[in-house]
Every structure is written in structure tokens, then in C-alpha cells.
Structure 1
Amino acid sequence: MRGGRLLSLLAAGLCLGLAPGAAVRAQSDAPAEAARAAIAALDDATQALTEAQKSRDRIAALTQTVQAYEEGLAALRDSLRRASQREATIQGALDAESGRLSQLLGVLQSIERAPEPALLIHPAGPVGTARSGMILSDVAPALQAKATALRNGLAELQALRTVQEDAVQTLKAGLEGAQDARFELSLSIARRTELPRRFVADKARMQTLIDSADTLAGFADALMSEPVPSAGAAASQRFASVKGRLAMPVLGQIIRRFEEEDAAGVRRPGFVVATRPLAIVTTPWPATIRYLGPLLDYGNVAVIEPDDGYLMVLAGLGQLYGEVGEVLPQGAPLGLMGGVEISDDQAFLIAAEQGTGAEASETLYIELRKNGTPVDPSDWFAAGKDRD
């Protein structure tokens, strides 16, 4: 009788272990692959930094290198966050299986200790023994599939942890490389002498405009009224032709849109973009620098003129590059955001894995004005159309 009971227990144990949704199912290795791709991108950025130092156009090369570091670090943060979430999912599934597997293991151990002849005896006689055997023959393949799924889950868990360990080393090099690239860029801009100038700023007149301005709109209108050489009609046509296709001047996320009310009930005619500290800000289109410096309560402000009748205001920077009157090419650096980048690798990993968004602590305000009137940046920037 004991052997039949053990056969029944085994069948019940196997069925229990195969409860719907209980098995750990092997899924795509996307988080680990994304992390490896981010690590490779940062390695490429490190190589690009070496090459940029030898480039004839050092500023353009270094700007692209800084952007490559920022994109690589952003991708690494995202992949680490996804890897952490995937690891928690796998670990939770394995923990949920532990109770079922313990019961099944107990049944198997009981069978192992039982005499072999007793296993053939079932309380219901030969028919019961046959039925038990049929149950076992049906369950065995499923048990094998379950064991394979669990093994795959454990393997993926180990792969994720290995990738995270590798990411720490790449992270250190990436943060140091980004810092070096920013330093080299600042040094190169300080030595720059070859930029064309559309006009030479009247510092006394500019100070008068700053002192008399009580709003950003008022200051922008005053700038537009200042006589400067025309950029030409052809340029205006070129700028209008890229409407809806402009690249964002900074790597970040739009958190407030045109005339969207903030927590204080204030509406602004522009974008507010959340960025990481020290993110580089560039010109989305060839433009003349009309103003650089602090303004009201906006922090450091850059006002550029991409064409006659247009002004683009970028407010909230921490460091500014260039001089008023210079004509910048598309993608030229205008400055860096403020703040202090997380330099400690463990703090970086914690912030990345938690995904709280606290690391995007800086905000850049972007306002585009046409003939003195603010226009919706969503109509001009490609990223502005993505409202997800």
C-alpha cells in the first residue's frame, strides 16, 4: 500500500510543480544585450576622444565626443534599470517556485527510500498502478520542460549580474572620459579665433538692455529692435524649410510643453527639458549669438538668431561658450548645463537601477520666437511631436 501512496504523492507533486504560470519562463535577453551595446558605445567614445584630439576641427570632434559619452551613459543607465527590473522578476519567480520544488523534492526523496517492489503496489490494485504510471509518463516531459525553464532563468540571472559587474568598470572609464572631453572642449573654445562675426557687440548698450528688461519677452523684443546686419533672405528660407525636423539642442526629456501649466500655475511659451548635470547644449541650426549671460531669474541664458526675424532662447545653462556676434555652425556647442555629475560608481548604479529620474536634476528652457511672437516648439523640433 505504501508504494501506491508514494506513486500518488509523486503524481500530485509533479502536478503541483506545474501549476499554471508558476514556471520561470526564459525571456528575451534584451536588457543584457542593451547593456553590452551601451558598454561598446562608451568604448567607442573613448576611442573617439583620442582621435578628436588630433582632428583639424577639434571643437566639432570634441562636441561629438561629449555627445557620444552622454548618449552612451544614458543608454547604460537605461539598460541597467531594465536589467535590475528583469533580475527582480526572475528572482521573484524563482522564490515563488521554491515552495513547490521543496514539496516535489520531498516526494522524490520518499520514493528513493522506498523498496522497489513496494512502488508497484497501489491501493486500487493493478488498475491504479497502471493509471499512476500513465500520469507519470504524461508529466515527465512537462517536468523536463520546467527544469529547462528554471535552468534558463538561472543562466539569465547570472548573465545579468555579470553584465552589471562589467558595467561598473565601463562606467568609471565613461565618466572620466566625459569629464576629459568637456575639459578639452572648453580649452579649445577658449583658444578659438577663426569664427566669423556678424557684428561686434556694444557692451554698454547690451547692459542697458539687461538693466531695463523686466521679462524675458521684453528683453527678446529689445534685442530684435537692435540694428544688426541682415542674415539674408536665403538663410530665412533654409531655416523655414527644416520646420518640424530640428534636432533638440540637449539630450533630455521634455517635461513641460508650450503654454502647459506647471505646479505653481505658471504657463510659459516654450519647452522645459529635464537634463543631466553638465549636459552639452548645441545649436540646432546655424545661428548668430545675440546674447550670452545671466538674465533675470533664468540663470545663464543664450539667445541665438537662426535667421532674420527668428530668435531662440535657451535658459538655465551653467556654463556658456562663445561671444556675442559670432556666427556658429549647426551643432556647435553653446555651453554646458549646471550641477554636478554623479562620479561615484555605486551611487550611479543605485540611481540608474531605481530609475527615479532624480539624476535629471537640471532643466533647460527653450523658447522660439518669430517676429517677436513665441511659436510652439512642437511644430519645429522633431522630438516635440512625440508626446508619449
Structure 2
Amino acid sequence: MSEIGRTRASILRGCGIAAVAFVLSLSAARAENTLDMAPDPDQSRAEYEQVSKDITLSSERLAKLAADIATIKKDHASITAALIQSAMTEQKLGQDIEDIGAKLEGLKGEEQKIRASLAARRDVLAEVLGALQRMGLNPPPAILVKPEDALSSVRSAILLGAVVPELRQQTEILLADLKEQSRVTASIEAERTRLTAAVGEQTAEKKRLSMLLEAKQKLEADTQTALAAEKQRSQALAAKAGSLKELIASLEADKERKAADAAKAAEQKPADADKVSAQPELASLPVPEANQLAAAAPFSALQGQIALPVIGKIKRRYGADDGNGAVMLGDMVATQSGAIVTAPADGNVLYAGPFRSYGQLLILNAGDGYHVVLAGMSRISVASGQSVLAGEPVGAMGEARVASTSASKNGNATPELYVEFRKDGKPVDPTPWWADRFSGRT
């Protein structure tokens, strides 16, 4: 074979490689709907919702959880400590899930860019490959068969020599893109596996929390009558209050009145009666003093140290437009379905229950003239009059389809927790109190 013939054969072999690569790129692009929309920021949470629906705990796992609960000493301090530790574990898993979701979105963004790159070169490569295919179907004659065709062969070789280097470069880019796409796809599957495992662990921890709460409720059976009376009284005050400010003021006034009555009654009792009745009175307290920190720091000193009461992202901040023509008086945190809500600081439960448009409302008296307001939960696990420690579970968010949610672009609904801090009855910006990870500060 002549030199020109060998050159042409080599060129056509190179063109064959390019054609194969191009066909593969078109197949990959078609299979994944190349021109999809940009990744939805709520997609990772929607994926979590789907996985969590599919997770069920085995009977063996449930039995192990029950055995773990049985080994805990049945006193208030032990159960409270176990609740705080379990809530910390659940929230750590929740944060892991958020991080995995963010990584998934980043990988999906890379995948979209690769698909767009493949799609952008589709027309150019199709034209070049079409021309090469036509040449292959009607190739110029070999130079040694008919000498008069030598000029035609040389012209074809010159044309191919000009076209193929560019085509080969495009082919190398294509192959690199396809290899990167395979890597990204494998990474996405690995992150989805991690997500499934984390959701399974979180489901087990939520079950542990519910079992601990049941144990705590049984332990506090003796105080249920007092708690029920307290709840009835606070709900009566809530029915009369026209605003959150009025509710807090009336609850605080009622608390002061009861304290004054108790002090007056104590002054009127004989000394011997005090000794006899001291033990029963202590026994009737909703939460013993041992459950409170001996030297709790004032709330004002906790700036930069408080974690969000629920794992999620602050979507709307204090002072921003609330969407109804007014401004936000607190922060709105978008979170996961069924997320555990914890007390952001030590305090006493001033109110727990439904209140007007707030839905399920929890008000904590954090001392130092501060109150913490939490709204948007589907369930509250504490009662008026109880004391709670920072990190102790106080409630849970609803599922994605229930009240106090916001609709996302993909049609799912994201549960949101409203957090408001008040000082002497007036809302204050909670941002200075959030730990750096949650405040957005660096």
C-alpha cells in the first residue's frame, strides 16, 4: 500500500474512534435528559423525605433499643441526661444528612455541567462526522490503481489531514467528559448509600427518644394532676390574650401572683408544719431542682454559644420581609420532617400549647428578662411549669405535608420552625446568640 493509502487508513481509523466516542456521548446525554433544569436547592431534602419513608426498623433493632432503655436508672436526672444525649445524637445525624444532601447537590451540579458540555458540541461533531461518513461511503481511489486519480487522492489526504486533528482533539475532550461523568455518577450513588444509612440511624435514634419520653412521662405520673391544672390555667390565659406580648405578660403576672401567694402561705404556717409539709411539696414539683444547673450563666452571656434548636437552615431572618407586608420578628428555620426540637437554653416552660395563628407554641422563660418563643412544631413534649435544660428535647416537627410548612419548587413542603427571642417583652435579633456555624458569621 502507498504512503498516502496508509495515511488515509490511519485517518479513517481515528475517525472511527471519534465516531464511537460521539455516539457514546449522545447516548449518555439522551439517557439523562441533557437540558434538564438547574438543580433545585430543595431536591436533597425531598430525597431525604423519600428515603425516610422507606426506612423501617427491624424487630431486632427495636428489641435492642428497649433493652437499652431498660438499663437506664429510673430517676429524673438519669432519664433527662439520656434524653439530652439522644437528642444530640439525633441532631448530629440530622446535620450529617444535611451535609450529604449539600454534597449531592454539588455533584448533581457537576453532572449538569458535563451534560451541557456534551450537548453544546453535539451539532458541530455531527456535521464533521457526517462529512467523514460520506467520505467513507465514497472514498477516493488508491493512487497505484489509476495514476490519473493521484491528484484526487492527494486532495482527500490534505482535507482529512486538516480535519482530523481538530476532530481528535474534540474526541479527547469527549472521552474526558464521559470519564468524569462516570466518576460523578459513582460518587452520587455512594452519597445516596450514605444518606440511606444515616436516615436509618436517625430513625432508630428518634425511636429511642420516644421511648425515653414515655419512660419520663411514667416517672412523672405523680405530678400529672398539678401539670394538668397548670396547663388548664395557661390555656385560659391564652384564650384571653390578643397577642404574644399580652400572653407572656399575663403568664408572668400569674406566675408572680402564685409565688406571692406561696410566700404568704409559708409565712402563716407554723414552723413544725413547715417541716412536716416540706417533703410533699418538693415531691409535687414538676421538675426537681437537681435537674437545673447549679450556676447557670445568664442568657445575655450566651451570645455566640447557642445552637439552633433544630437542624436546618435559616431561610428568613429577623428584620426581613415576612411575605405579608410586615417584617420578621424572629428567624425561620427550614428543617427535616419529624426533626427533634430542643431547648436552646436552660429555662422554665411558661406556656406550651396552641395559640392563635402560631399553631403549637412553646414559650421558655430563660431568665434575665429573656423569653424564647418556638412555633411551628406538630408535637410538644413538655408542659407548662416544667424546667428544661439546654439541649433537652421539647417537641418535634411535623411531616412534610402538615401545617407550618412552605411549598418548594418541586412540590414538596418543608417544615419550618419559628424562633423568636424577647427581652422585657420586646423582640430582639437572635443572630448574636447563634453559634458561628448557624449564624453565617466567619
TM-score by length of 2: 0.61
| C-alpha displacement of 1:243 | 1.2
Distance change in 2, residues 1:214/1:133 (3 Å): closer
Counterparts of 2:180 and 2:119, CA distance in 1: 15
Give the direction of change, closer, same or farther, for the CA distance of 1:387–1:181 in structure 2 (3 Å limit): same
Distance change in 2, residues 1:380/1:121 (3 Å) = farther
Structure-2 residue corresponding to 1:210: 238
In the alignment, which residue of structure 1 is the partner of 2:94? Answer: 70
In the TM superposition, what is the alpha-carbon distance from 1:314 to its structure 2 partner? Answer: 0.2
Hey, what does 2:350 align to over in structure 1? Answer: 290
Please, which of 297, 300, 306 is the counterpart of residue 246 of structure 1? Answer: 306
**How much has 1:325 moved relative to structure 2?**
3.0
Report the counterpart of residue 432 of structure 2 in structure 1: 379
User: In 1, distance between residues paired with 2:212 and 2:293?
Assistant: 30
C-alpha distance in 2 between matches for 1:218 and 1:338: 27
Deviation at residue 287 of structure 1 after TM alignment: 2.4
How far has the Cα of 1:311 moved from its partner?
Answer: 0.7
**8 Å contact 1:235–1:307 — kept in the other structure?**
no
Closer, same or farther: CA 59–130 of 1 in aligned 2, 3 Å:
same
- Residue 296 (structure 2) aligns with: 235
Residues 83 and 133 (structure 1), Cα distance of their counterparts in 2 relative to 1, 3 Å cut: closer
1:190 aligns with 2:214: yes
Residue in 2 that maps onto 1:346: none
Aligned length: 335
Task: Give the counterpart letter for 1:291 in structure 2.
Answer: Y
- TM-aligned CA deviation for residue 378 of structure 1: 2.0
Q: What is the TM-score with the length of structure 1 in the denominator?
A: 0.68
Question: 1:88-140: CA deviations, max 9, x gaps?
Answer: 3212322332333344445555379445648x9668x99x999889968xx84
- Match of 2:416, SS state, is strand
Q: CA deviation at 1:149?
A: 3.0
Counterpart Cα distance in 2 of 1:96 and 1:258 = 44
8 Å contact kept, 2:90–2:340:
yes
Could you tell me the percent identity over the aligned residues? 26
Question: Using the alignment, how far apart are the partners of 2:421 and 2:438 within structure 1?
Answer: 13
Distance 1:106 1:232, change over 3 A: closer
Displacement of 1:283 = 1.6
What SS does the corresponding residue of 1:245 show, helix, strand or coil?
Answer: coil
What residue number does 1:270 align with? Answer: 330
* Pairwise CA distance, 1:368: 0.6
Q: Which runs of 5+ in 1 are unaligned?
A: 18-23, 25-30, 343-354
What SS does structure 1 have at the residue aligned with 2:431?
helix
Q: Which has the larger radius of gyration?
A: 2
CA deviations 1:236-274 (Å, max 9, x no partner) are 54x322213321112233233224332221334212222
Instruction: Determine the structure 2 residue equivalent to 1:305.
Output: 365
- Alpha-carbon deviations, 1:204-260, whole Å to 9, x = none? 5323322221111111122233228899996354x3222133211122332332243
User: Is the counterpart of residue 149 in structure 1 residue 203 in structure 2?
Assistant: no
1:283–1:334 Cα contact (<8 Å) kept: yes
- Provide the aligned C-alpha RMSD in A: 4.6
Contact 1:322 1:334 in 2 (8 A): yes
Task: Verify the 8 A CA contact 1:294 1:300 in the aligned structure 2.
Answer: yes
Distance (whole Å) between structure 2 residues aligned to residue 295 and residue 376 of structure 1: 22
C-alpha distance after superposition, 1:326-381 (max 9, x if no partner): 33222111111122479xxxxxxxxxxxx837545222221111122221112322
